[in-house]
Amino acid sequence: MTEQAKYRFLLIPPFRLPEASRFNVSITGVPIDLPKEERLMNASLILPHLENVEWELHPGELATYGDWPVETREEFAYAASARLPNVKKACETGKYNGIVLLGGGEPGFAEAREIGLQHGVVVTGNAFSQLHLATMLGNKFTVLDVMGVHNFYYRDVIITHQLAHRCASIRHIGYHLPRPGNEDHPQLNDEREKMRRGEATRAAEIAVEQAHAALLEDGAEVITLGCSGVFWLQPFIKKGLKERGWDVPVLEGYSASIALAKLMIDLDINASGVTYMSDSTGQLPIKVVM
Amino acid sequence: MTEQAKYRFLLIPPFRLPEASRFNVSITGVPIDLPKEERLMNASLILPHLENVEWELHPGELATYGDWPVETREEFAYAASARLPNVKKACETGKYNGIVLLGGGEPGFAEAREIGLQHGVVVTGNAFSQLHLATMLGNKFTVLDVMGVHNFYYRDVIITHQLAHRCASIRHIGYHLPRPGNEDHPQLNDEREKMRRGEATRAAEIAVEQAHAALLEDGAEVITLGCSGVFWLQPFIKKGLKERGWDVPVLEGYSASIALAKLMIDLDINASGVTYMSDSTGQLPIKVVM
Amino acid sequence: MTEQAKYRFLLIPPFRLPEASRFNVSITGVPIDLPKEERLMNASLILPHLENVEWELHPGELATYGDWPVETREEFAYAASARLPNVKKACETGKYNGIVLLGGGEPGFAEAREIGLQHGVVVTGNAFSQLHLATMLGNKFTVLDVMGVHNFYYRDVIITHQLAHRCASIRHIGYHLPRPGNEDHPQLNDEREKMRRGEATRAAEIAVEQAHAALLEDGAEVITLGCSGVFWLQPFIKKGLKERGWDVPVLEGYSASIALAKLMIDLDINASGVTYMSDSTGQLPIKVVM
Amino acid sequence: MTEQAKYRFLLIPPFRLPEASRFNVSITGVPIDLPKEERLMNASLILPHLENVEWELHPGELATYGDWPVETREEFAYAASARLPNVKKACETGKYNGIVLLGGGEPGFAEAREIGLQHGVVVTGNAFSQLHLATMLGNKFTVLDVMGVHNFYYRDVIITHQLAHRCASIRHIGYHLPRPGNEDHPQLNDEREKMRRGEATRAAEIAVEQAHAALLEDGAEVITLGCSGVFWLQPFIKKGLKERGWDVPVLEGYSASIALAKLMIDLDINASGVTYMSDSTGQLPIKVVM
Amino acid sequence: MTEQAKYRFLLIPPFRLPEASRFNVSITGVPIDLPKEERLMNASLILPHLENVEWELHPGELATYGDWPVETREEFAYAASARLPNVKKACETGKYNGIVLLGGGEPGFAEAREIGLQHGVVVTGNAFSQLHLATMLGNKFTVLDVMGVHNFYYRDVIITHQLAHRCASIRHIGYHLPRPGNEDHPQLNDEREKMRRGEATRAAEIAVEQAHAALLEDGAEVITLGCSGVFWLQPFIKKGLKERGWDVPVLEGYSASIALAKLMIDLDINASGVTYMSDSTGQLPIKVVM
Amino acid sequence: MTEQAKYRFLLIPPFRLPEASRFNVSITGVPIDLPKEERLMNASLILPHLENVEWELHPGELATYGDWPVETREEFAYAASARLPNVKKACETGKYNGIVLLGGGEPGFAEAREIGLQHGVVVTGNAFSQLHLATMLGNKFTVLDVMGVHNFYYRDVIITHQLAHRCASIRHIGYHLPRPGNEDHPQLNDEREKMRRGEATRAAEIAVEQAHAALLEDGAEVITLGCSGVFWLQPFIKKGLKERGWDVPVLEGYSASIALAKLMIDLDINASGVTYMSDSTGQLPIKVVM
């Protein structure tokens, strides 16, 4: 990777599942010796955003809590601390000026940002990027998400970003992430497979219906996507809403995070060293206020 | 201007002063037949952000309320409605995919955005861009501004953007914009002239002191700049704060607005067609909520 | 106009349409040589409030953006800056101690207030007056409005007045303002004509239904009216709600603005000279806070 | 009292002290057989507001908790319930269309309003009126008050009116209300006596200093007065602030409440029958929201 | 009562009805010479919480406003001031370290707390305790209440406690408190009688339905109970929600208040002497803020 | 441990330092084979709260990020995920009905609560408990904390608990936690040693000064303690404030968490199963709201 490139990014997945996991899905768990372009989820949507970027795709750290995707607060905590050493190592190489944290629930985002700032590396995450951009585009956003506990975890994320007052609702699309014990529930993976085969998917239909309901009833004026497992739905939601007469932005996490990292590098800005201080070498305010 | 360029921007000043105006300053009123690079305020700071942009610099509409810079609510209203026809004309040419509104108080921003959306053109403004970016970098921001009524106008702008809860304070640097009746007050222009001659300026010193006070006492963790008349202070404030031990972002309006316009084009997003609807052809929510 | 009268008001419409406009309606565009009592919209409702007032009715400034009523943010900006010189002229005559800005969306209100304060003239507007009074009467208000883009413009007005948290909803009555391109939509004018002929109107029925829904479902406890095109509905809404068992205030813009202007004159108060300062002759706070 | 008068008001003091009380002051405890004009506190300030009003001044109910002015939450509760029967009786006479509750802390205001609404009588109070009007005049208000526990009681009143976010501060003027146990503290009564003798008072000086500090440091842009014991300071504060270069409204409780009662009668409005319902004969919303 | 007991509580009802009142119910009005365990409402639910407490049950002060339960703001004010002397007397005996105010709407709570603090006695109330505990258990709570005006009074209570932003809704169970004029409405007493006879009650069914609706639609995640007349429903609501698949806390006022009083005594804490000061012997802040 | 005990608690430290660490302090790192009473920090303050509790003290998980106390966001994330398996194991034993998380910044609190709820075990943390209790005692609280980055981490904790609006300030006492690189800064350990020897400590003096400043200037009315490294200061702050004339509660984390866990067990309540759901077996709301 040449030092001259303007954007030198490392993309780090939230976790990696064992290839043999029965819960494995396209989201994660792809063979790590494939080219990065083939490992990148929803590559056709995302690669255009990486055209002027020198980038690498980290394999992700093997999940320690089990072999299914993160969903509970507990699982997110494990994924966060498993990812942070990789963030630190990447920063220490000096090769990157931006780290894009993949994964809708952005485990370890605030911590990674603290680490990145020490090394002059910009760090962005998928909720952070979508949510802030959404507030620039309309009054309130609705988050479309998988079905279940992830919705409540994601609300915590929104509170952490101090954007609760701009959230109209979190609505789910009726499909679950794969997980021991919910094998009988409707599975998102099956829908994704249909999409790949070019078939119509009920998940996409429901996503449009839920987005429509959010716009009609909840006060949403922008749509964002929660779990990265639903990011592939972006073009379908855009199309479906347009057909129903709505002209609203539909954000997606990877692209939003890549674009925001570029912006910060362009402006030579990073997180505030007061907000994200990590030692005691700088100034302190007389008191910290909210 | 070739259609192929990714970013095709028109920069539109908030107003233009007659060249002969005694209140004329570098901010505005430069001969309109000069090359755009010479007409652009703080060009050395801003041109790097325009390198990959095909851009033009509108001369600005001649101020109708007088021959001094806008400062009161009344003057901003006149500047806003004088600028909007130029926004519309620019959109109708089809030449641009982004319009960057120059001017700290961004007269006509919401209206220009409504117009831009109808034509698929992204519109950004200097307060909008800085304020939103600031909330991504730290807990609260302080706005450094010229001294006087502009501070109160600017507060209205922050309220309009629904970001009042993230504003620590608006502090002024002790210098006025030129204006009939305040000729005896300390003038910002004189300071700017000193800076150009490479001399130390008291304005820059005070700006650092005020930023320091905001960080120490007000809860600010990011610094933004209010009136475009103080944008030239950005590098001085950055340097001064670093010397005092603060590592915080200092935003500037033109660069922030250019970068944000690029981001929106990269992500193919624009303002929500619900929030900024301009006719009755689309869907309406059952009721509008706050 | 004698100097002795306690209240000396000028009422200024938001704009004037050419008499020949096909979009012309009772709202505006009446022949300007008629007596003021005949030019005043909804005169029978409003004249009682002017009994102890020496008043004049400005013809309004001819609309510059077209020959239809204001509705978009752009059109409101033009109306605002067209009206301000008339406000200033009126203040400079010294004849008035109050200016009542007619028009639901109150274009130019903050600016007019700034001007008025310089001359010791009280200025009130139709949204400002209704919204503030509503918060004195109950927990939340719902705004009944025409259908379409005006609803979103009006939300901005509420945000500007910092009263978003007291707004339950903005609901529309299913009728549009006349406008090129929406001739096929249900027109408010037709309903108004029916009302004048003493016929029942569907607009009034829907208004009652929407107010009822707001009280039953949205948390509204007071009803206000948005666009001045719906002000004539006030008595019908009051009556309809009473028949349905609701005892709630229904505010109207002209009367609220006239009454509030009287109150300010009675108390010898006007807008704060800090909030609405227009030059640098007075004191400044150390910093401006939100 | 003729039925024809437009405004027929009863003014009810918050309480009455025995004439012989050593804590007696001009505020209360004046002989009840004096003409109302002589019993009315700060009559020269207030009488002009009553010129077009047919009014009576209730003697106030004898304080049950002791013979000193109300100050604690406990004392305010006793004053509230002692005043309410008088409110009810007055409403039942049918003589009045407005009841003006005297007393800065407005004991029994919400309850009196509930009673008044049942009888079609408008009820206003001194905090309610000042605080709401203040939000119409500037961004934030500071309350100037006596020194001590009353400041905290008054904060509760502001919270009750849901206006905490518009309050910059409650500042005291360094003088106490008379009360057993604080005889050694500086007494407001002595200051008031000096004022009556035409002497300069330290209380007025401090009031101006505190108002100045509030404007300079706290973000206040309007001044209101807390305990009715400080209402007499209004003209001195206005004058003092003007001399210091501030042009801001200074509200006073009696006049604000009288003017607001007139406005409500002019507009034929009263509190919402949903918010202040007192029985179950009307409609109920599906659920009550905040 | 021995001084050694850790918890020495007096429970004080909000009021007492004459035994002969036709509006009398189990809530109040039981013969005052019965043992305290028989006079205590819902004793079987509450006695376990009093096992390690030395407690007495005050008979309550006879209602002065009539012979029916409190419901309007006016009635609550009378109940408050009638209860306070009993609070004071109890404090002055030195026998108690905790006073538990019975009654959902907690008349006189803030005042009683002020009194208690002077004597080192902890005071808790039924709304205060439930509402604060609810915010520790989930994001928002819904209050289930009797039907009618009490719902609006209770909203005021929530505002007073500054917890409005955590309240999803106040929903009623379709039954009224007994009251002159609403004898024809469905009465809560009848339901309570059925419950005592071991019969199924419609009130319990509706309570479950309303709680279910609050969880499904309003954003409630915890259930609390409003008027003490509905406290007996707690076990039925818990059971009903569990059967419908909801695992959420259902709070009850008496038990919550007793438990919270114990906690405060355990921690040797009481209300802040700044917030609840009752004289001028202590320190004052420079200014009171919100 | 007998099943019969009412309270069966496990106390789990946030981390454990190697005994040989040069950064070791009383906080952590004590030999794990000592009796629990000797290992418990500030035992004399805390043991009285454990008198009626069957309790064990977990040794804490060895810190993985280094051998100094947690302070940065990164370190807190490691401590959180290291502690969670111990929480789970403890829950699975069925021995405990309460887990008290020790440590001011409560790493892993939300996750532990989610785990606890699955097993019917109540979980409390030191910030959660203090902050919520503080809002029951006065209007705003100030957090006294060690000096440095921990202040900013702690602000995030307050935001997570949605209590930012009740926080007056976070003030530090001028001493650092031990940490590589800040050996030259004033160390909290030294102060603590002095205290143990019965000597006066500057840390305690500063703590009182900062608490005093918070009460006088910031609007604090209750004091809470941030990092558990300052919990030992509680009695000194109480005493010092009393001497300065302030009567305000000073909370401490361990005792607050123990008392709150008891209260929840007494009331048979735990976190809401909607808010903290961990699988998909229960009901879901139609949409999640903020």
Q: Which residue of F has its CA nearest to A155?
A: F290
In this prediction, residue D13 carries a pLDDT of 97
Query: pLDDT by residue (tens digit) across C269-285?
Result: 999 999 999 887 789 99
**Mean pLDDT, residues A6-32:** 84
CB contact (8 A) between residue E160 and residue D162: no
Q: Do chains D and C touch (3 or more CB pairs under 8 A)?
A: yes
Q: List chains touching B (3+ CB pairs under 8 A).
A: A, C
pLDDT of residue D185: 83
Q: Do residues F77 and F102 lie in contact, with contact meaning Cβ atoms separated by under 8 Å?
A: no
- Chain D residues within an 8 Å CB radius of C137: 269-272, 275
Question: Which of the residue ranges C127-131, C177-181, C227-231, F159-163 would you say has the lowest mean pLDDT?
Answer: C177-181
pLDDT of residue B19: 85
Could you report how far apart the first and last alpha carbons of chain E are, in Å?
Answer: 41
Which residue of chain C comes nearest to D46, CA vs CA? C267
Q: Does B73 touch chain C (CB under 8 A)?
A: yes
For C5-20, write each residue's pLDDT tens digit: 999 999 999 999 988 8
Task: Check CB contact of B101 with chain C, cutoff 8 Å.
Answer: no
* pLDDT grade for A1, boundaries at 50, 70 and 90: very low
- Rg (alpha carbons) of chain F, rounded to whole number: 19
SS3 F54: strand
Our measurement of the distance from residue A89's CA atom to the centroid of its chain's CA atoms, rounded to an integer in Å, reads 21
How does residue F2 score in pLDDT terms, banded at 50, 70 and 90?
A: low
Lookup: tokens for E237: 């609501």
DSSP three-state, residue B211: helix
pLDDT, averaged across chain F: 94
**CA-based angle A16:A18:A22, to the nearest 5?**
115
Chain A: give the shortest CA distance to residue B214, in Å: 9
Per-residue pLDDT reduced to its tens digit, C67-93: 999 999 999 999 999 999 999 999 999
Question: Is B288 within 8 Å of A219 when comparing Cβ atoms?
Answer: yes
The interface predicted TM-score (ipTM) is 0.96
Q: Does A215 touch chain B (CB under 8 A)?
A: yes
Contact between residue F112 and residue F83 where contact means Cβ atoms under 8 Å apart: yes
Interface mutation target, options E68, E73, E206, chain D, most CBs of D under 10 Å: E73
DSSP state letter for C48? G
Angle between helices A73-93 and F73-93 (to 10 degrees): 150
| Partners of F54 in beta bridges | F8
What's the mean pLDDT when you consider all of chain B?
Answer: 94
In this predicted structure, what is the pLDDT of residue B80?
98
**Residues sharing a CB contact under 8 Å with residue A243, sequence separation 6 or more, in sequence order:** none
Touching F (3+ Cβ pairs <8 A), the chains are A, E
CB-nearest to D290 from E78, E155, E274 is E155
The CB density around residue F126, as the number of other CB atoms within 10 Å, is 30
Contact B97, B49 (CB under 8 A): no
Phi, psi angle pair for D51, to nearest 5°: -60, -45
Residue range D217-238, pLDDT digits in tens: 999 999 999 999 999 999 999 9
CA D69, chain centre distance (Å): 14
b/e per residue F11-43 (b: at least 16 CB within 10 A): bbbbbbbeeebebbbebbbbeeeeebeebbbbe
Of A280-284, C31-35, D131-135, D176-180, which has the strongest mean pLDDT? D131-135
- Among B88, B115, B151, whose Cβ lies nearest the Cβ of C288? B151
The pLDDT of F91-105, averaged and rounded, is: 98
CA atoms A90, A94, A96, A100: torsion sign = positive
Separation of alpha carbons E154 and E158, rounded Å: 6
Torsion angle, CA of A175/A179/A184/A186, rounded to 10 degrees? 10
Strands, sheet with B222-225, edge to edge from the N-terminal-most edge strand: B167-172, B141-145, B222-225
Angstroms from A110 CA to nearest CA on chain F: 7
Which residue blocks in B94-143 are alpha helix, DSSP H? 109-118, 126-137
3-class SS of residue C176 = strand
Which amino acid is it at A281? Answer: T
Cross-strand pairs, A57: A11
For chains A and D, having 3+ Cβ pairs within 8 Å is answered no
Query: How large is the average pLDDT for residues C125-138?
Result: 98
pLDDT tens across A52-88, in order? 999 999 999 999 999 999 999 999 999 999 999 999 9
Q: Do D74 and E80 touch (CB under 8 A)?
A: no
Report CA C73 to chain centroid distance, whole Å: 16
pLDDT at C3 > cutoff 60? no
C116 pLDDT above the threshold of 60:
yes
With contacts defined as CB-CB under 8 Å, which chain A residues touch B245? 281-283
List, in order, residues 6 or more apart from D196 with CB less than 8 Å away.
Answer: none
Q: Which residues contact E50 (CB under 8 A, 6 or more apart)?
A: E9, E258
Mean pLDDT, to the nearest integer, of A268-289?
Answer: 93
Q: Do D274 and C216 touch (CB under 8 A)?
A: no
| Model pLDDT, residue D92 | 98
Judge F/C contact: 3 or more CB pairs < 8 A.
no
Please write the tens of the pLDDT for every residue from B139-173: 999 999 999 999 999 999 999 999 999 999 999 99
Query: F232-285 pLDDT, tens per residue?
Result: 999 999 999 999 999 999 999 999 999 999 999 999 999 999 999 988 778 999
Using the Cβ of E84 and the Cβ atoms of chain D, whether some distance falls under 8 Å is answered with: yes
Cβ–Cβ gap D73/E288 under 8 Å: no
Six-digit token string for D149: 């526990």
Rounded Cα gap, residues B179 and B145, in angstroms: 16
Q: Taking 50 as the threshold, does the pLDDT of residue B180 lie above it?
A: yes
Tens-digit pLDDT profile for residues A105-136: 999 999 999 999 999 999 999 999 999 999 99
Find the residue in E nearest to F254 (Cα): E267
The percent of residues above 70 in pLDDT, for chain F, comes to 97
Q: What is the pLDDT of residues C246-259, one digit of tens each?
A: 999 999 999 999 99
Q: Is the pLDDT of residue A196 over 50?
A: yes
Residues in chain E within 8 Å Cβ distance of D170: 287-289
Residue to mutate among C65, C71, C74, C281, with most B CBs inside 10 A, is: C74
Look up the pTM and report it.
0.97
Parts of chain E with a pLDDT under 50: 1
* C59 vs D181: which has the higher pLDDT: C59
Q: For A289, which of B219, B271, B275 is closest by C-beta distance? A: B219
pLDDT value of position F182: 81
Largest CA distance in chain B: 61
Distance in Å, alpha carbon of F81 to nearest chain A alpha carbon = 6
Subunit contact E137:F271, Cβ cutoff 8 A: yes
Please give the pLDDT value at position F212.
98
Of the listed ranges A154-163, B176-185, F193-202, the one predicted with least confidence: B176-185
Of D135, D140, D256, which is closest to C267 when you measure between CB atoms?
A: D256
- For residue A29, the model assigns a pLDDT of 60
C71 closest CA partner among C103, C42, C41, C40: C103
Sheet with A167-172: strands ordered across: A167-172, A141-145, A222-225
Are D149 and E182 a contacting pair at CB < 8 A? no
Cβ–Cβ < 8 Å for E41, E231: yes
- Of the partner residues B154, B162, B278, the one whose CB lies closest to the CB of residue C159: B162
CB contact under 8 A, C272 and D263: no
Shortest alpha-carbon distance between residue C154 and chain B (Å): 10
Residue with tokens 């004053």: D79
Measured between beta carbons, which residues in chain C are less than 8 angstroms from residue D260? 136, 263
Choice between E178 and D115, residue whose per-residue pLDDT is larger: D115
Q: What whole-number distance in Å separates Cα of residue D207 and Cα of residue D203? A: 6
D36 neighbors D56 (Cβ within 8 angstroms): yes
- For the sheet containing D222-225, what is the strand order? D167-172, D141-145, D222-225
The interface residues of chain C toward chain B in range 119-178, judged by CB-CB distance below 8 A, are: 147-149, 151-152, 154-156, 158-160, 162, 164-165, 167, 169-172, 176
* Subunit partners of chain A (3 or more CB pairs within 8 A): B, F
Q: Quote the CA–CA distance of D125 and D106 in Å, as a whole number.
A: 6
Q: What is the pLDDT of residues E97-120, one digit of tens each?
A: 999 999 999 999 999 999 999 999
pLDDT at F112 over 50: yes
